[in-house]
Structure formats: C-alpha cells, structure tokens
Structure 1
Amino acid sequence: MSFLQAIQSSQQTIPETYRQLTREEMEQRVLEIKRELGTSLYIPGHHYQKDEVIQFADATGDSLKLAQLSAENKEAKHIVFCGVHFMAETADILTNNEQLVYLPDMRAGCSMADMANIYQTNRAWVKLQEMFGDTILPLTYVNSTAEIKAFVGKNGGATVTSSNAKKMLKWAFTQKERILFLPDQHLGRNTAYDLGVPLDEMAVWDPIQEELIFAGDIASVKVILWKGHCSVHENFTVQNVYQVRQQYPEMKIIVHPECRRELVELADENGSTNYIIETIAKAPKGSSWAIGTEMNLVNRLIQQHQDKHIISLNPHMCPCLTMNRIDLPHLLWSLESIVEGQPVNRIQVHEQTANDARLALERMLQRS
C-alpha cells in the first residue's frame, strides 16, 4: 500500500486539542505513558526523525535495524514506529502476531518507495521477461513497499540495504545473468559500478512510459535500474561540491549512495547512514566535513560533534518532508490511544504478502 492509499484508508485524524498543548505538556505526558506501559511499549526512531521525537526513542537506527530490534524485543506488545510507512510494514513483517505496530501519522510515506508500485512492477516484469527471458533476478532496496518486497521474494530475489548492497549484488550475479534493481536507480548504479559493471551495461526501466532506456545492444545489459530516486538525496548537486571545494579547500565531503553517480564520484567518501555517522564519530578533532544526507541527521551530528566543523553539502536543503510528519503531537496521540484501548494507525501487512516479503528479507539476512 502506498502512503497515499494509507491516507485514504485511514478514517482518523489527530484531534485539534493536541495542537493546543505546549511542548512541555506533551513531553511530560509522553514520559508518563512510557513509565506506565513499561517494557510493553517500544519506540524505534529512524535517524532522520526530528529531535522532538527522537528524544523518546528506545533505539535509533536505519529502518531494517529498527525492525529487527522490534522483532527481538519479545516483551514489547506495542511498537510505535517513528519513521515512514514502509519501515513500519517491515517491522510488522518481522514481528510476531502478538506484537502490534503503529505509525503515528499515516501520511508519513516515502516518495522513493512509491515510485515502484506492484501494478507497474508486474507489467514491467512481463515485458522484461519477453526481452531477456529467464535471466533476471530482482533485488529491492529495503526502502520499498511490502508488496514490492513480496514480488521480489516470490521471484527468487532478496532485499538489500545501503550497507550490504555490494554483497547482495555479488550474490545475485551468482544466481542469474542480469539484475533488476528496485526502486532507487542511484544506489543500484553506484553499487554496480563499484563492483566493476560499466555504465554502458546498465539500462533504466521507465515505469511511466513502460520502456527500457538503453542506447546499445540490449544483449549487453547486465543491470536494469528502476527509474526511482530519493527526493532528498537527488537534490545534492555537483555545483554544491564545487562551492564547498572553493570555500573550504581542506573540507572532506561524504555523501549517501542514494545521491547521483556524478556526485558520488566527486565526493571523498560515500556510504550508508550508519557509515556516515561512524565516520564522523571517528574523525579527528578539528576535522571538517560537508555531509550529503538528510538535514535532521546533519543537524544532530553538528550538535553531537562540536569539536569538528560540519556543514550540510547543500546549505539550502530541507529535511525529508514525509519523515517530518512524525511530530510530538502525533507521537503523543498514538501513545494515548494505546493507553485508552483504542489504538490508531495500526500497520498490518496481509499474511501472504508478509510471507513472500519475509523470503526476500531472510535471503538477505542469511548473507549479512
């Protein structure tokens, strides 16, 4: 289900009374509920969340790590996932039937995940099979819907993260001659290139036009990239790099591999969100860094490492709009609804979809 569909299916919106509370009142009530519910409540918070929410997280991390931690925490009956829709879906897939997963605001989606829906993917698969026969293994970034993970699982593929993408692409090439990589073309392109696949052996599938974008002989295609992207990371530009190099010649640039290929080539380092966090933490005092990733995280790193000079690679970058949907009023509303016995915004993945998606996740986890 896309986040737009989630909005349409949800009949509940936050009561206006929550907007009338002060921040101090909301924070105090959240703390009271956490004490009241104890270990039966678990609040995972993604790295890109606002500080007003992340302060209450029982664990912070990327989407897969948080879903795994939720599944491991058997005491937790109520999991209030502070992230976006696909992350809560993954948590629901990996947790047991006694654990209930909620998303504080159903509008918190992911534009990248919604760039590949199951109808587009099924149509693309038929056409690609006609072109290439049974030579393609599908892989999907974990930043995808449960239905896309299920599609990949049913067709022998696996999920990948930005941390293990190289390992998973290597494995995929031992299974089939070609890879269909969903839904982020930039992570797929950067990873395949680092593994030695030339750019002229990568094609792009346009799900809107339903056509393969490739100039040469399609027999040479090794990687088929879905035409999707992260709206945050695609906004970092080559010009941003040139400006930093000019203004701060000694500054190192580190970016996420969801950025465009030409930007990644110019950066000093690139890696997953966890890699960026760890690199900054290990960097010597007095070092300077321009970071190309989501603004909430960059601002948090600036506050945590005041012994270093840290800036955003794009000074005009806004935080991820859908991540920002989860705010303190929505978190409090979600928690109070649980206490009152009328929880809102529960995330439930259809059983068959969950079973197929779990196959894709397990294939990855077995190799990570």
Structure 2
Amino acid sequence: MTSVDELIRSIHEPRTDSHSGRPINLRTAGAAPSVSTCDTDLARDPWSIDQRPASTYGPGASVADLIPLGAPRQGKLPDEYTVATEAELERRIWDAKQALGDRVLILGHFYQRDEVVKFADFVGDSFQLARAATTQPQAEAIIFCGVHFMAETADILSKPQQAVILPNLAAGCSMADMANIDQVEDCWADLEALYGTEPDEQGRVPVIPVTYMNSSAAIKDFCGKRGGIVCTSSNAHTVLEWAFERGQRVVFFPDQHLGRNTAKAMGIPLEQMPMWNPNRELGGNTEQQLNEAKVILWNGFCSVHKRFSVAQIEQARAEHPGVRVVVHPECPMDVVDAADESGSTDYITKAIAAAPDGTTFAIGTEINLVQRLATQYPQHTIFCLDPVVCPCSTMYRIHPGYLAWTLERLLAGEVVNRISVDESVSEGSLLALERMLAAKP
C-alpha cells in the first residue's frame, strides 16, 4: 500500500506523463479521486517549514494549535541533505547505520512516516520505546524518531553516558504543551488552598496528581515529587485505581479525553469530572464543584484524535456493514461511546493481529499507523475513520534527511540535537515513572 508521504505527494505534486511529458496530478488523473489532505503544505519538505516563524506546529492535525514562545527550533539542515534524492538518503542512512553498528539505537514511533520508521531497531508507542531504550546499554547514542516528550522520557530512563537525539528539534507535541509547569503549579496551589493537605481517616490525601505520558519532563517531575504518577493509554485504568487508593480525588494532566473516558469506564459520573481551564479562576469551577469532584480534568487534547467524529463512525457502518470500529481513548467521549472498542495503539495492533481473516476495521488513530497496519494485514480491510489524510504535525517533521544528518554527524564524532533532562527534574520524573511500572493490573 502507498505510504502516507507518497499519498500526500501524489495528491498535491504534479507528475509528468511518460508519453506526453506533460505534468499530471494523480488525484485529478483518477488514482485517488476521493482522497484529500488537511493541508497542502504537507507535500513540502519539513526544512522549508522549519525556517518559518514558529507560530504553529506546522502542517497537519495541529496546524491550528499555537506553539508556546520559546519552543525548540530546528536549525538549518545542510544543503547536501535537502537536495539529496530519496534513494541517496536511504543509501546514506543504511551505510551510516551499518558503520555505527550497536553504537547507535534507532527508535521509531508508530505514528512516524514509513520512510523513517523502516530504519528503526524498535517500533512502538512512546512508553514501549522508552523501555526499549533501557535494553541497549551498549549504545552510545539513541536516536528517537518521535517527538520531544518521548525523547525526554528516554533520556530519563537511559544510562547517563547515553546521548538521546531528536532528529528535528521542532518535533514537539501540542497536547504536552497545553500544560506548562507554571500553570500546573498555580492549579496545585489553588487546590491545596481549597482542600488542605491533611489525609482523611483512611490515610488518603485530598488530591493526587496523575499525568499522561504525553507531557513534559517538568510535569512528570511535579507529579513524582507530590506523590503522583505517570500513566499511558494502556494502563490509565490501573493507574487511576492506584491513585484512588492513596487520594480522595485526582487531577489529571494534560489530556481531558483519556481522563474522562477512563474515569467514565470506572463508573465515575460526568458531574464529578469538572474541567480545569488554567486561564480562569479556580479553572472555571465553583468551590462546590471542586469539592464534589473525583477527577479534575485538565483542558488539553490531541488534535489528531480530536478529528474523529460520530458521523464518521455512522458513515463507516453504512458503507461497511459489520465493520469493527476501534478508536484510541484520546478521542472525544461520544466517539469512544459510538465505537465498538477503544484502546491504545498497542491494543489496536493486537486486535487486528488476532482477528479472523476477512475482518473489516475502521480505525480511529493516526493515519501512518493505520496505513501501515493495512499493509501488514492484507487479509483484512483496514481504513482510517477520517477520510482526510491528516498526519500528526510534529511526527511529520521527522524526515529521512534529518535522520541521515544525525547519523552521519555521529559517525564523524559529533552529537547534534541532544535532548538532556536536568538532574533536578529527572529525579521526580523517574520516581513517577517507577510508580507506574510498579502499578500492576
């Protein structure tokens, strides 16, 4: 099956007819007449986007999200990488990778473009890859083909002498950036002023902070130092149970949808899940609402998963009777409720692998993973719920040109784009991560 990158370029870039020599467009020529993308700039190479003023995260699902001031910027990529052909970059990456041997470990996230992920030694979700980083202590460098918070987590969990590299520093995460440490500390001060700090008769403190893996190291550190914990999309239920054993309520950063969907599945009513808007007094709530709360949801979201809708599910069911709809728990609650199942990227992958041949799947998660699964399991019919090709804006900033550059600089003895978490922050982050690992279902 055509990769997402090839599909986007086929829609937006003119190709030359082999007979007439005239430029054609595969979309208008009939190759993919019903396919469109959310942003024409997706067909451009990321280095052209990197040199623009950093007001948004770039083309793709998060293009409308405002990037924070001071977010990391990527410097200019040397011309030899920007003008190289795809075949040349592929050859240079394989040559450098072979020359470096076990001195380098390449990690590729599920949502990464195929043109990059094919070079990865491990492919998985953010936490699977962070754990993979701990399995190769001999590697001098870990190249994380993902986004910034993932590279931070790998640095926290890896050996001090190992360098963690993010090929493109502009590969951030809009959801992670929706909760900054100053806002979180202000929220905590308000909650402590309201609830106090004394435990109840069962020894449970008034509130426990829980953060999704998709958050900055500073937020993980905050949680670790205040008796809190990290969760992933696959173990959020277990982590919330852990938190309720120790606290009367939870404040959940930064994804409201994962928090709401998980708590709802545990039987917590919606009226006990107020939203915290960091730009409003008491997060936009009354003291009574907060006193009655069981889970306080931070006003954050994933722009990829926010695109999925109940209407898309209804259309999939109308066009494919018997379709099995599986969505990620970062999707809005009405989408999760309308689907047959919800689960992490690992859950989705395993569900497809275990299904009887001939199953039709409509998947609600990032398009690169959906396209890859469709290629890996041709015995099934697998398609993305969203008919518009709209990849994760920041995952898409990683390109083979950047991977070739980082590998060849390593071969020359130079570490570029190193992600280092300060020891004062990594200590609490590691504590929160270790609590998560110890919280078994």
TM bucket normalised to smaller: over 0.9
Report sequence identity in percent.
48
1:147 aligns with 2:210: no
CA contact (8 A) 2:208 2:226 kept: yes
1:251 aligns with 2:323: yes
Which structure 2 residues correspond to residues 1-368 of structure 1 after superposition, within 5 A? Answer: 5-8=70-73, 12-134=75-197, 135-214=206-285, 217-368=289-440
Which residue type is aligned with residue 185 of structure 1? Q
CA contact (8 A) 2:274 2:289 kept: no
Alpha-carbon distance between aligned partners in 1 of 2:428 and 2:252, rounded to the nearest angstrom: 18
Measured against aligned partners, the alpha-carbon deviations of 1:216-261 in whole angstroms (never above 9, x if no partner) come to 6432211000000001001101111111122222111000000001
Q: What is the CA distance between 1:60 and its match in structure 2?
A: 0.5
Alpha-carbon distance between aligned partners in 2 of 1:325 and 1:38, rounded to the nearest angstrom: 26
CA contact (8 A) 2:272 2:289 kept: no
Which residue type is aligned with residue 198 of structure 1? P
Alpha-carbon distance between aligned partners in 2 of 1:333 and 1:218, rounded to the nearest angstrom: 50
Measured against aligned partners, the alpha-carbon deviations of 1:73-115 in whole angstroms (never above 9, x if no partner) come to 1111110000000000000001111111000000001100000
Alpha-carbon distance between aligned partners in 1 of 2:176 and 2:321, rounded to the nearest angstrom: 37
Alpha-carbon distance between aligned partners in 2 of 1:189 and 1:210, rounded to the nearest angstrom: 22
SS at match of 1:330: helix
CA spacing shift, 1:274–1:210, aligned 2, 3 Å: farther
Which residue type is aligned with residue 99 of structure 1? Q
Alpha-carbon distance between aligned partners in 2 of 1:346 and 1:217, rounded to the nearest angstrom: 44
Q: What is the CA distance between 1:13 and its match in structure 2?
A: 2.5
128-137 or 344-353: bigger deviation: 128-137
CA spacing shift, 1:283–1:214, aligned 2, 3 Å: farther
CA contact (8 A) 1:150 1:358 kept: yes
Measured against aligned partners, the alpha-carbon deviations of 1:139-186 in whole angstroms (never above 9, x if no partner) come to 000000000000000110000001111000001000010100000000
Q: What is the CA distance between 1:280 and its match in structure 2?
A: 0.7
Q: Structure 1 runs of 4+ off > 2 angstroms?
A: 2-8, 131-134, 208-219
SS at match of 2:70: helix
Unmatched runs of 5 consecutive residues or more in structure 1: none
Which structure shows the higher helix fraction? 1
Q: How many residue pairs align between the two structures?
A: 365
CA contact (8 A) 1:4 1:107 kept: no
Alpha-carbon distance between aligned partners in 2 of 1:240 and 1:5, rounded to the nearest angstrom: 37
Which residue type is aligned with residue 78 of structure 1? A
Unmatched runs of 5 consecutive residues or more in structure 2: 1-66, 198-205
Alpha-carbon distance between aligned partners in 1 of 2:321 and 2:389, rounded to the nearest angstrom: 21
CA contact (8 A) 2:239 2:436 kept: yes
**Based on CA coordinates, which of the two structures has the bigger radius of gyration?**
2
SS at match of 2:283: strand
Alpha-carbon distance between aligned partners in 1 of 2:238 and 2:226, rounded to the nearest angstrom: 19
Query: Aligned-pair RMSD on alpha carbons?
Result: 1.4
Alpha-carbon distance between aligned partners in 2 of 1:290 and 1:131, rounded to the nearest angstrom: 45
SS at match of 1:320: coil
Counterpart of 2:26 in structure 1 is none
Q: What is the CA distance between 1:127 and its match in structure 2?
A: 1.0
TM-score using structure 2 length: 0.81
SS at match of 2:174: coil
Q: What is the CA distance between 1:210 and its match in structure 2?
A: 4.4
CA contact (8 A) 1:3 1:107 kept: no
CA spacing shift, 1:210–1:14, aligned 2, 3 Å: farther
Which residue type is aligned with residue 171 of structure 1? W
SS at match of 1:81: strand
Q: What is the CA distance between 1:70 and its match in structure 2?
A: 0.8
CA contact (8 A) 2:360 2:381 kept: yes
Q: What is the CA distance between 1:132 and its match in structure 2?
A: 2.4
